[in-house]
């Protein structure tokens, strides 16, 4: 592999949920992206069990670091900086990654960067499409978050990252997972709903589009709500079952997916247009959704907005995204995080990187 050795080599660790990810990045170049998932261990519970996730991270951490180094053809001693997701996410899970990153930073005597998981979902696109256009609007849709962000500077400096809106109840991925369960599809449901929906009719049922009425658009212009939609799907399916009728899984999946995609893309394009921003970036696990990618492209084309969406493998949680943000922080001369960096389960998206903690 030909690499630009002039750029620092950054190792990124991700453990905020159920994926143990270790990535190696030099500048905007991805050298390795090793991921070990504990998703199968959570499937029978229908959701991620924090304690199970933490234990799985512990077991997977060293082998995943070794695999990333082998894949990237680098030795740990060549790493110039260590980045780690320090929030938001499950506290126990985050702690495993943060502890591993601190051990590496101390052992290698390299700077440590505690980074924001959501900002990393945005930064990862640089590995595929080059330097991030700033400003851009970022639509971040995952199992835990649905946010519209105005990104002026991905490292948090200057205008930084501003929150335009977010879900007021369920995250988009959470809605996919819950609806999949109602439809008898396995966890995590997003990819299964996506697959089923390809054979379904998106207009089969017109499910509600949350927070799109005139009053909602005044008070929650860029916010989302998927809880009512999820309940509407569950009620529709229950009524069908009560009547002894078969549930047309593909059609319901397509109609539900259409409602989510419609609202997400409509509000994202609206934010770009009203903020005068001509680049939209879509990231997070739900950005792997084929219908979301297609409708976002159609609507951006109509509105004259340039769309950037990383390939599906980079949308779901991974270590490369953490390394990508770490590399950007290093490149822009951002100060490293302190070694007593805490895990912050509710780290605000406006903080791209953990800075010195103010002590009282
Ligand atoms: O970003 P991610 O890997 O983890 C979090 O930070 O939450 O996102 C996981 C979420 C899950 O809810 C999963 O069902 C959803 O992303 N997801 C999808 C698709 N692939 C993953 N949702 C819809 N369509 C997909 N193809
Ligand atoms: Zn994520």
CA pair distance 1, 31, nearest whole angstrom: 8
The answer on pLDDT for 311 being more than 50 is: yes
Q: How far, in Å, is the centroid of ligand 2 from the Cα of 322?
A: 11
Instruction: Collect residues with CB below 5 Å from ion ligand 2.
Output: 142, 317
Protein residue with least CA distance to atom 23, ligand 1: 190
Angle subtended by helix axes 172-182 and 249-275, to nearest 10: 170
97-153 tens-digit pLDDT: 999 999 999 999 999 999 999 999 999 999 999 999 999 999 999 998 899 999 999
pLDDT computed for residue 360 by the predictor:
42
Angle subtended by helix axes 91-108 and 50-72, to nearest 10: 30
Protein residue with least CA distance to atom 10, ligand 1: 143
Among 91, 166, 87, smallest CA distance to 119 is for 87
Protein residue with least CA distance to atom 13, ligand 1: 190
Protein residue with least CA distance to atom 21, ligand 1: 285
* Residue 3 banded pLDDT, cuts 50, 70, 90: low
Q: How far, in Å, is the centroid of ligand 1 from the Cα of 153?
A: 25
Residue recorded with tokens 């394009």: 269
Q: How far, in Å, is the centroid of ligand 1 from the Cα of 6?
A: 35
Q: Find out whether the beta carbon of 286 lies less than 6 Å from any atom of ligand 1.
A: yes
Residue recorded with tokens 């084929």: 290
pLDDT computed for residue 198 by the predictor:
98
Q: How far, in Å, is the centroid of ligand 2 from the Cα of 245?
A: 37
CA pair distance 143, 175, nearest whole angstrom: 8
Q: How far, in Å, is the centroid of ligand 2 from the Cα of 318?
A: 8
The answer on pLDDT for 43 being more than 90 is: no
Positions of E strands within the chain? 9-14, 19-26, 29-37, 81-87, 112-116, 136-141, 146-151, 161-166, 279-283, 306-308
The answer on pLDDT for 304 being more than 50 is: yes
The average pLDDT across 196-218 equals: 97
pLDDT computed for residue 359 by the predictor:
44
Q: Find out whether the beta carbon of 188 lies less than 6 Å from any atom of ligand 1.
A: yes
CA pair distance 282, 141, nearest whole angstrom: 8
* Residue 4 banded pLDDT, cuts 50, 70, 90: low
CA pair distance 205, 146, nearest whole angstrom: 24
Question: Following DSSP, what letter does each residue of 50-90 receive, concatenated?
Answer: HHHHHHHHHHHHHHHHHHHHHHHT--GGG--EEEEEEESS-
CA pair distance 101, 75, nearest whole angstrom: 16
Q: Please report the atom of ligand 1 found closest to the CA of residue 187.
A: 14
Helix (H) or strand (E) holding 174: helix 172-182
pLDDT computed for residue 158 by the predictor:
84
Contact 250, 197 (CB under 8 A): yes
Q: How far, in Å, is the centroid of ligand 2 from the Cα of 107?
A: 28
pLDDT computed for residue 265 by the predictor:
98
pLDDT computed for residue 2 by the predictor:
46
Closest ligand (CA of 171): 1
Protein residue with least CA distance to atom 8, ligand 1: 285
Mean pLDDT of the chain, nearest integer: 95
Q: How far, in Å, is the centroid of ligand 1 from the Cα of 307?
A: 19
Which pairing describes strands 279-283 and 306-308: parallel, antiparallel, or unpaired? Answer: parallel
Contact 228, 210 (CB under 8 A): yes
Protein residue with least CA distance to atom 16, ligand 1: 285
Question: Following DSSP, what letter does each residue of 261-273 receive, concatenated?
Answer: HHHHHHHHHHHHH
Which pairing describes strands 136-141 and 279-283: parallel, antiparallel, or unpaired? Answer: parallel
């Amino acid at each position: 592999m030909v690499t630009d050795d002039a750029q620092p080599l950054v190792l990124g660790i991700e453990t905020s949920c159920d994926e143990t990810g270790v990535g190696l990045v030099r500048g905007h170049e991805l050298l390795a992206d090793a991921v070990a998932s504990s998703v199968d261990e959570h499937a029978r519970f229908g959701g991620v069990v924090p304690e199970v996730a933490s234990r799985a991270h512990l077991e997977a951490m060293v082998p995943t670091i070794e695999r990333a180094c082998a894949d990237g053809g680098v030795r740990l001693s060549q790493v110039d900086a260590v980045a780690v997701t320090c929030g938001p996410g499950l506290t126990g899970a985050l702690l495993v990654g943060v502890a591993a990153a601190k051990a590496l930073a101390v052992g290698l005597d390299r700077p440590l960067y505690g980074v924001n998981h959501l900002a990393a979902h945005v930064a990862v696109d640089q590995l595929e499409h080059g330097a991030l256009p700033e400003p851009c609007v970022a639509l971040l849709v995952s199992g835990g978050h649905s946010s519209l962000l105005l990104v002026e500077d991905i490292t948090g400096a200057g205008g930084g990252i501003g929150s335009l809106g977010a879900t007021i109840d369920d995250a988009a991925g959470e809605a996919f997972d819950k609806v999949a369960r109602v439809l008898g599809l396995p966890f995590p449901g997003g990819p299964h709903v996506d697959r089923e929906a390809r054979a379904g009719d998106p207009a089969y049922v017109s499910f509600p589009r949350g927070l799109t009425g005139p009053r909602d658009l005044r008070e929650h212009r860029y916010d989302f709500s998927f809880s009512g939609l999820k309940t509407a799907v569950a009620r529709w399916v229950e009524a069908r079952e009560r009547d002894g009728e078969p549930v047309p899984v593909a059609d319901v999946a397509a109609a539900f997916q259409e409602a989510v995609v419609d609202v997400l893309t409509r509000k994202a394009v609206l934010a770009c247009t009203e903020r005068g921003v001509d680049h939209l970036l879509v990231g997070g696990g739900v950005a792997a959704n084929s219908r979301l990618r297609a409708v976002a492209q159609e609507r951006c084309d109509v509105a004259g907005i340039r769309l950037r969406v990383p390939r599906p493998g980079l949308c779901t949680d991974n270590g490369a995204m953490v390394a990508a943000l770490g590399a950007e922080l290093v490149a822009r001369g951002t100060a490293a995080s302190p070694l007593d960096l805490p895990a912050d389960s509710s780290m605000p998206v406006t903080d791209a990187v953990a800075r010195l903690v103010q002590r009282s």
